[in-house]
């Protein structure tokens, strides 16, 4: 089956301050109801490409803030286990975060507050895409490319792609599917990779391992 070559693109996330902030858990909930969807995307996914918190225990900014600034370990843990890719879209993700916060507010004797200067600042992301000028026709060519692929390319083709593809898949699997059933086993391995609870370095290695297992038997 003929298939179009895959064009390798790179990307960067531009962080845009919204001016919106929250000093307590109630304000966080209220702001979440109306903030731009790009804020949710940034505060869940942006940390992978723009690591701005040195806290491997928590994967998203809401959980980090709840732990560090509100000193609320329970809700921090609840927020930290949210997997954004498990939701149909950003609006469903928004509803889940709000529900968790509302549940905590309903049982709390007082509203958790952060000290002055430790407010949660909502940041919106904008993706800037770069054309690397390279493309590949044969999947085996990616064996040599993936280990040196930029983290921006990994983010774009394996994470951001889920906003662009109808079935929320990574670009590699979508491209390989164009060859019919030829690379079904490789596609299955790529689809098993969890792109969220990891780092981009680890994600690149997992993708590389999947290609090597398929083409070189794990060599």
pLDDT above 70 for 54: no
pLDDT above 60 for 123: yes
Average pLDDT, the chain: 94
Locus of tokens 């930290």: 80
Enter the pTM of the model: 0.91
Comparing C-alpha atoms, which of 31, 3, 16 is closest to residue 94? Answer: 31
| Domain residue limits, the chain | 12-124, 138-216
What confidence category does residue 57 fall into, taking pLDDT thresholds of 50, 70 and 90? confident
Given a contact cutoff of 8 angstroms between Cβ atoms, the answer to whether 23 and 35 are in contact is no
What confidence category does residue 51 fall into, taking pLDDT thresholds of 50, 70 and 90? low
pLDDT above 80 for 200: yes
113-to-33, 34, 44, 105, 215 alpha-carbon distances in Å: 19, 21, 22, 12, 54
Rounded CA gap, 28 and 63, in Å? 12
What confidence category does residue 3 fall into, taking pLDDT thresholds of 50, 70 and 90? confident
Rounded CA gap, 138 and 125, in Å? 34
């Amino acid at each position: 089956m003929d298939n179009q070559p895959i064009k390798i693109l790179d990307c960067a996330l531009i962080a845009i301050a919204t001016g919106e902030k929250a000093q307590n858990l109630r304000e966080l909930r209220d702001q979440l109801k109306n903030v731009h969807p790009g804020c949710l995307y940034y505060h869940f996914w942006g940390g992978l490409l723009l690591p701005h918190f040195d806290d491997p225990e928590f994967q998203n900014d809401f959980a980090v803030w709840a732990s560090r600034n509100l000193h609320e370990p329970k809700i921090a843990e609840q927020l930290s286990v949210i997997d954004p890719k498990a939701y149909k879209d950003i609006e469903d993700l928004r509803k889940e975060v709000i529900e968790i916060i509302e549940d905590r507010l309903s049982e709390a004797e007082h509203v958790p507050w952060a000290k002055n200067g430790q407010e949660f600042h909502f940041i919106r992301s904008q993706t800037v895409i770069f054309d690397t000028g390279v493309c590949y026709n044969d999947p085996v060519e990616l064996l040599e490319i993936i280990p040196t692929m930029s983290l921006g390319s990994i983010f774009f083709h394996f994470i951001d792609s889920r906003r662009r593809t109808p079935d929320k898949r990574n670009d590699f699997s979508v491209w390989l599917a164009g060859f019919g059933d030829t690379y079904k086993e490789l596609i299955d391995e790529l689809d098993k990779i969890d792109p969220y609870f990891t780092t981009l370095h680890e994600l690149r290695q997992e993708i590389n391992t999947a290609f090597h297992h398929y083409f070189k038997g794990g060599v």
